[in-house]
Each structure stands twice: as structure tokens, then as C-alpha cells.
Amino acid sequence: MKKETIHALLKKLVLPAYWFVCLYGKTMRVRTEGVSECQDLIARGGKVILASWHQRFYGGFYIPRMFPLLKPFIMISLSRDGDFVADVVRKIGWKPVRGSSSRGGKEALRQMIDAVNENRIGGHIVDGPQGPPRIIKPGLITLAQKTGAGIVTAYVVYDRPWVFNSWDRFMVPRPFSRMLIRFTLSPVYVPEEMDEGQFEEYRKTIENKMIRDYEELDRTFEGE
């Protein structure tokens, strides 16, 4: 099938995909923690970067509605699949910035810096778009460094999700199941000036904390 045909087909699927996600999302029982604290931080003039694994990307459907006066920005790859994802997340309430670490990354990061400075909130898939999984790429730290925004991990926890055989073991919650979305209450701020060693220390510290926290949080629904 020609690339143009595939692109046209994906365009036609954007609206059905959006409505499917909306209907599917209404079946979930979602519990949130730390949202009001994050809202208060932004209301006081603070800036926030919501950090998440690619594996838990589905939970991003719920986040724009938590900030109804602000449409958070998020970086989406320049791939053909990225075109489709960008169109869908735009309807959900995100503002996509196109680019990734492998293509268009520098320009996209510059746009994300401007967007977070102006809009005070952005989302960042820290190990996307192609991994390796659960390894934070430097863009998160650079974005925080250049904006002065606090890094807030957006943990997304599912009750017995489906797990796909993809590079990140992507998760989708089952219909009518439970989900927890938890924002860290203590944002991480990185210095504007750092040497390479300090930069790597912040990157690795946040990465290790996300891994450890998920080991605990993924047991949230056990026994319930």
C-alpha cells in the first residue's frame, strides 16, 4: 500500500479513534492523587513538566481535563504513526509539538521550552518514542533546566491491564477496571547551570525513583 494511501486512511480514522477512546475512557473507574497540589502550583505562577513512561501513555487521555483552563503541550514524533497520534491527542485536549530524539528533536525541544514558559505546563514521555524502555532521555532534564519548571512524575497504575508485546510492553486497562493517576507532591527542580556529571546525576536519580515507585505502585490493587 502506498504511503499516501496509508496517510489518507489514518486521517479518516482520527475521529472514530477519538470517539472510541472517549467511550472506552468512560468505562474506567479513575482515582487521582496530587492533582490539586499540581493545580495550586500552577495557579501560583509555577511551571510543571509531567513526566511519564511511554508504556503508560494511555493514562494521558485523562490529564487535559484536570487542567481545563490550560491545554498542556506534549512532544509527538514526526513519524506517520505520530501524525495519527498527534491528531487524536489534539482532540483530547493536548497541544502536540512534533519531533523526537531521532528526528526534529532540537527544534521540537525549543518549541517545548517556549510552550512551557508560556503555558506553564507540558507533558513529556521520557523514554519515547522508541526506547529503550524506562531509560530517561536527556530531553527531560534539558527542558526543566531551560524553563525552571518542576518535574512532576505522572504515575499511571492499572488494575490487571492488557500488556502488548511491544518494545515498551505497552499497557491498556481493561474495560470497567480501575486506574490510579498519581502526581508526585514534591517536584524536582534542576539548576540552570550544571556540568555533565551533575546533569547525569539528576537524570539517573529521577529514573531510579520512577522505577522504584512503580515497583510499589503496581501493587496498588492487589487484594482489593
pLDDT in tens, 180-191: 999 999 999 999
Q: What pLDDT is stored for residue 131 in this prediction? A: 86
Q: What is the pLDDT of residues 6-55, one digit of tens each?
A: 667 778 899 999 999 999 999 999 999 999 999 999 999 999 999 999 99
Taking 70 as the threshold, does the pLDDT of residue 128 lie above it?
yes
Q: Which domains does the chain have, with CATH numbers?
A: 3-217 (3.40.1130)
188-216 pLDDT, tens digit each: 999 999 999 999 999 999 999 999 999 99
CB 72 within 8 A of CB 205: no
Q: Between 144 and 4, where is the model more confident?
A: 144
Q: Which of 13-27, 56-70, 78-92, 99-113 has the lowest mean pLDDT?
A: 99-113
pLDDT digits (tens, 9 = 90+) for 86-98: 999 999 999 999 8
Q: What is the pLDDT, as a whole number, of residue 99?
A: 80
Output the CA–CA distances (angstroms, integers) from residue 158 to 7, 177, 195, in the order listed.
32, 8, 38
Which of residues 197 and 223 earns the better pLDDT score?
Answer: 197
Higher pLDDT, 1 or 143: 143
pLDDT (mean) for 49-71 = 94
Of 108, 189, 106, 185, which Cα lies nearest the Cα of 147? 189
Rounded Cα–Cα distance for residues 100 and 81 (Å): 13
Looking at residue 188, what is its pLDDT?
A: 98
| pLDDT band (50, 70, 90) for residue 110 | very high
Instruction: Report the alpha-carbon angle 204-220-134, nearest 5.
Output: 25
